[in-house]
Structure 1
Amino acid sequence: MLAKRIIPCLDVDHGRVKKGVNFVNLQDVGDPTEIAAAYQKQGADELVFLDITATNEKRKAIVATIEEVASQVFMPLTVGGGIHNVDDMQNLLKAGADKTAVNSAAVSDPDLITQGAEKFGAQCVVLAIDAKWNPVRQGYDVYVNGGRKQTDLDAIEWAKEGVRRGAGELLVTSMDKDGTKSGYDIALYQQLTAAVNVPVIASGGCGQINDFSEVFAKTDVDGALAASVFHFGELTIPQVKQDLRTKGVIVR
């Protein structure tokens, strides 16, 4: 059994780390390089770095910020936001990213997933999905442009297509749970992990230490991502890992 990963997420807007609730009301949290270095010290397994306004503002990903973070941090770094083509992926990988996360651009052009996987390997291509429950059709809809735009894609079917096209990992955020601190969307991750055979990272809703053990106990996700609880010092990564060990979850 592979060790489960604990992954802080830095949502970056114009060079500052921000955090909101349900993708809105963003608060400034601090400098990305300082925060990344602090998480490395705590023992984070990986770091996810999302430029949350690049796509909506039609900007490129902020390569200079990634270079600075990568020079200070030696754990795996996944970067998303503002990736429009394979050249953008290459620029981020050269800047120090280990993996690139595609979301809106992959929905617009699914072949981007295949092109990236063929050029850099599936392990470098993460399909990020922002999913929201639709009570009318009783399924999860895919949203793009930082959660601002609904699509007609079903999240589970899109995840399966993304994997078929070459995505080596899925980073799936529950928009219903994002920033609410009410726990991960267990039903979403149960459906996802049953549908695909690549690692799935759960994102959105972590609010207390038990949320980590619950998502690992009730679903087959490989990693749990969190932001608010770490950014605001409510939990530390060593606390979370110790709690998981006492509950029999294998962590690094």
Structure 2
Amino acid sequence: MLRPRIIPSLLIQDNGLVKTVNFKNPKYVGDPINAVRIFNEKSVDELAIFDIDATVKGLEPNYSLIERIANQSRMPLCYGGGVKTVEQAQRIFGLGIEKIALSSSVLQNPQLITDIADRVGAQSVIVVLDVKKKLFGGYEVFTHNGKKGTGINPFKFIKEAQQRGAGEIVINSIDQDGVMKGYDLTLIDKAREQTSLPMTVLGGAGSLEDIQQVINKHKIIGVAAGSLFVFKGVYKAVLINYPVKEEKEKLF
């Protein structure tokens, strides 16, 4: 039986775990390997890990760190950051990653979605769209940690990604990132209308009620969060956390 997925999202910079607000001012919050070990004990549905340095600096994926994370993990893993070729994707899958997240590389070359899906299977190819509201209405996809506008309409690209063989879409709200005041429900609604693919939303969760609101509306959906599962309390003390079984059941 298909169920909603609740997914911690971890950001990696300089091999450390960081958290941002509106994609800016990354704050070091700990060791990613330690975070993975803690999430192992909490029966997490899935874990998403994004290297926010790789694309900006033109770096190869950090295969050594990816392998260490995969070796420690007992949950499904999605990795994104710096993947530009089929060969890089295959190497990452060979390290034990179940899903690969593609963003700027497929915005520049949408054919890469098809090429990777043909090699590893569509279910493993995730297209991530980092989206920001436009000044006079509508939304635009951004890359390079929210610094570079693409002029691409996210809803049109969702349709193209599905046609080209993507297995899942991730919609990440730059405006809501790290603010912890709730998801952009309008963005989610419009994105969900465009595709029958599995979809995950990210950006804005400040409470389990925020997650529940999305699940109540869209049922079978992935609901991801960063700050909510890394910080605790009004002073945002660093504490890795995740809803226990009873809490999760109430959300569904």
TM-score range, shorter chain: over 0.9
Partner of 1:22: 22
Q: Give the AA of the match of 2:246.
A: Q
**Correspondence 1:1-252 to 2 at 5 A:** 2-136=2-136, 138-220=137-219, 222-234=221-233, 236-239=241-244, 241-247=245-251, 249=252
Q: Check whether the contact 1:18–1:28 (CA below 8 A) recurs between aligned residues.
A: yes
Q: CA deviation at 1:233?
A: 3.7
Q: TM-score, normalised by structure 2?
A: 0.94
Q: CA deviation at 1:218?
A: 2.3
Give unmatched runs, 5+ long, in structure 2: 234-239
In the aligned structure 2, how far is the partner of 1:49 from the partner of 1:96?
A: 13
In the aligned structure 1, how far is the partner of 2:57 from the partner of 2:18?
A: 16
Q: CA deviation at 1:96?
A: 1.4
Q: CA deviation at 1:238?
A: 2.7
Q: Check whether the contact 1:130–1:174 (CA below 8 A) recurs between aligned residues.
A: yes
Q: Give the AA of the match of 1:117.
A: A
1:74-99 CA distance string (max 9 Å, x none): 21110001101111111111111111
In the aligned structure 2, how far is the partner of 1:91 from the partner of 1:232?
A: 33
Q: CA deviation at 1:244?
A: 4.2
Count of residue pairs the alignment pairs up: 246
Q: Give the AA of the match of 1:242.
A: E
Partner of 2:236: none
Q: CA deviation at 1:135?
A: 3.7
1:38-57 CA distance string (max 9 Å, x none): 11211111110100011010
In the aligned structure 2, how far is the partner of 1:220 from the partner of 1:131?
A: 22
Give unmatched runs, 5+ long, in structure 1: none
In the aligned structure 1, how far is the partner of 2:146 from the partner of 2:220?
A: 22
Q: Give the AA of the match of 1:16.
A: G
Q: Give the AA of the match of 2:108.
A: S
1:132-186 CA distance string (max 9 Å, x none): 11142x2210001121100111011111111111110011101111000010111
Q: Give the AA of the match of 1:198.
A: L
